[in-house]
Structures are given as C-alpha cells and as structure tokens.
A = this chain, B = another copy of it.
Amino acid sequence: MRFFYLITGLLLWQMSTAQQNTPALSDEFVLVIHGGAGTILKKNMTPEKEKAYNDALEMALKIGYDTLKKGGTALDAVEMAVRYMEDCPLFNAGKGAVFTNEGKNELDAAIMNGKTLAAGSIAGVTTIKNPISTARAVMEKSNHVMLIGKGAEKFAAENHQTIVDPSYFFTEQRWEALQDAKREDSLKQTQKTPDHLALKQPENRDYKYGTVGAVALDRYGNLAAATSTGGMTNKKFGRVGDAPIIGAGTYANNKTCAISCTGWGEYFIRLTMAKTISDMMEFGNWKLTDATNEMVMKRLPALGGDGGLIALDKDGNITLPFCTEGMYRGFVRQDGKTTVKIYKE
C-alpha cells in the first residue's frame, strides 16, 4: 500500500510538472491582411464589386481567425489567409495574377517566422497554384531562403505542392488589363512620356500592381508575415518586385514587428521598407505607427513611389498606412470582430 501512495504521488507530481512546462496560451491574438494598394476610388466602384471584395476580405480574416483561436501558429494563420486570397480571382496573386508583357503569369511570394528569423521565398514561377505554401516549404524543407524560376518549380513538385497548367491563371479581367496596358504603353511612346513616369499608375487602374499579404500574432506570442503577388501588369524581363525580397516587402521579427507591403515594388526595395521599420524600432526606439508613417507617408513619396503596408508589433499594436487612394485591408482580434476597409478614411 505504501508503494501505491508513492507511485500515485510520483504520477501526480509528474503531471503537475508537465502542466507547468506547457505555457498557458495567451488569450490575445491578432490577424491583419491586405489585398493590395492602388488607385481605388469609390466613384469608380460598383456596389457588387465592392461587396465581392469585402466578402473575400472577411472570409480571409475568418480563416485566419479560426486558425489562431484554436491555437494554430501565426505562420499557419498568415499562410491560410494568403492562400485564400491567392485562390480568389479578385486579387493580384495566385488565380487572379496579372499578365506579363509576354502574356504569362509570373508569381512571387515570401513568408517569414518572427520567432526564428527563418524565411522562405520564391520568384518568377508559372505553375505553382499556391506560391505562399511553396515559400513556406522552402523555409521549412530546404537549406535555402530564395528559389527562382524553373528551379523553384522543380522544388515545389518534389515537395508535394499543387502544380497547375499555366492556363489555370488565366482570367478575362487580367487579360483585358494587359491589352489596356499595352495600348497605353504604345500611346505613351508616341507621346514621348518621360521614362520615369511610364510606370505611374493611371486613375482607377489597380492593374499595375497589387499584392496580398497577412501578418499575425499568435497565442504563443509569435509573429509571422506573408506576401504573395502576380507582380506588375505588362512587366518585362523577369522583373521581380519587393514581395519576395525578405526585408523589403516581407519581414517578421518577434523583437519588433511583422510587416507585409504592397505598392510600387521598386521603391520598396530601394528603401528596404519592412526591415527599416523594424530597425527604427529596434535601434531608434521608434513606435510602430511613427516608424510606418515616416516610411510610407514621407520617405516613400519623397523618393517618387507609392503604396502601403500592414504592420503588427509584438504587443499587438497594428497600423495600416498607405499613400495611394485606397488599400483593400482588414483585421481581427481575439474577440472575433472583423473590420474591413477599402478607401481612405
């Protein structure tokens, strides 16, 4: 009988230790998403189109929220939310990707884990259904951070990613946008538009750029960021924007913040947008909103670019600044109350 008490005691002690070693999950978690920034004006939007965008943003938030609520990681949440937007033809990523000058869809994506600074990224792929999931596979199943082109597609195939025929990415609306862009380009050449203005986005044309992205803080206190894009309509020469560049369009670090950008990628690369904001916080003690405002509302337009971003710090503070007319965006916290917006406030 003495042995029985001893063993029961040991078992109880063991159980209480195990419980202590599993940290209690925080009740707080946050997900922020975007579906691209651009010249989005209410006067040019139909109620049907507006509703479609709002519904899609709501659904992406719901998918990420459910993941976080049941104890999924920030990485899971941003991957799931971005996957949904990749599969939705409304956004310039995955199924809704814009066309290159050669009439192809070249996709880029990146993901980063704020806990470990692990990162994965792919660029210039044409046959991967969900680039964000392949970016995650690069992070978790390869020794590399960035894979491009045919090589990235080979890696995807070997790692059980869904491969599709390039025709999967065809949508009528994006094809028309390419034809518009080509017409405009030839018009500009006749009119001798200065080169540096040739990429300036015309009013109510969000075809030029567009991106989807998500940042999340999970119940373990970890941050993650994910971005996916079809790039720029009518892009040439294998152009790569900021989305797949770690530190430019995508960055996450538990010490500071998680960020996903959208906009005129060349300027985001030159400013190393996302990492600069993190560094302002880490080395200059800037607050998240001050740092993002300085970069998005001042330095980005000062250099000649435009766009926006979503940012989330380790304490759950969020900010969604943009210097364009609009940005498809939304967020949700642990209470499950979603907020989605399109235009300027």
Contacts and interface: CB of A to CB of B under 8 A. Distances in A.
B143 A266 contact: yes
21 contacts: A117-B303, A118-B270, A123-B148, A143-B196, A143-B199, A144-B235, A145-B266, A146-B245, A146-B269, A147-B239, A147-B240, A151-B237, A151-B238, A246-B269, A247-B269, A272-B272, A275-B275, A279-B280, A279-B283, A283-B283, A283-B284
A47 B95 CA distance: 59
Interface of A: 117-119, 123-124, 142-152, 154-155, 195-196, 198-199, 235-241, 245-248, 251, 265-266, 269-272, 275-276, 279-280, 282-284, 286, 303
Contacts of A266: 143-145
B283 A270 contact: no
Contacts of A237: 142, 144, 147, 151-152, 154-155
Oligomeric state, in copies: 2
Contacts of A276: 275, 279
Nearest to A270: B117
Contact of A117 (B117, B199, B271): B271
A270 to B, nearest CB: 5
Dominant SS among interface residues on chain A: mixed
Which residue, of A123, A195, A265, A272, has the highest number of chain B Cβ atoms within 10 A? A272
A154 B237 CA distance: 6
Contacts of A119: 269-270
A272 B272 CA distance: 9
Contact of A247 (B124, B149, B151, B247): B247
A123 B154 CA distance: 18
Task: Please provide the 5 A-B residue pairs with the shortest distance between their CB atoms, ordered closest to farther.
Answer: A151-B238, A283-B284, A279-B279, A247-B272, A151-B237
Given A269-B246, A283-B279, A283-B284, A124 B145 contact: no
Contacts of A151: 124, 236-239
A162 to B, nearest CB: 17
A155 B240 CA distance: 14
Nearest to A117: B270
B239 A251 contact: no
Contacts of A265: 145
Contacts of A149: 124, 148-149, 238
A246 B286 CA distance: 23
Given A117-B303, A246-B270, A247-B272, A146 B283 contact: no
Given A238-B150, A238-B151, A279-B283, A143 B269 contact: no
Contacts of A152: 237-238
Nearest to A236: B151
B148 A148 contact: yes
Nearest to A271: B117
A144 to B, nearest CB: 5
Which residue, of A155, A238, A275, has the highest number of chain B Cβ atoms within 10 A? A238
Nearest to A268: B145
Which residue, of A247, A269, A286, has the highest number of chain B Cβ atoms within 10 A? A247
Nearest to A196: B143
A125 to B, nearest CB: 9
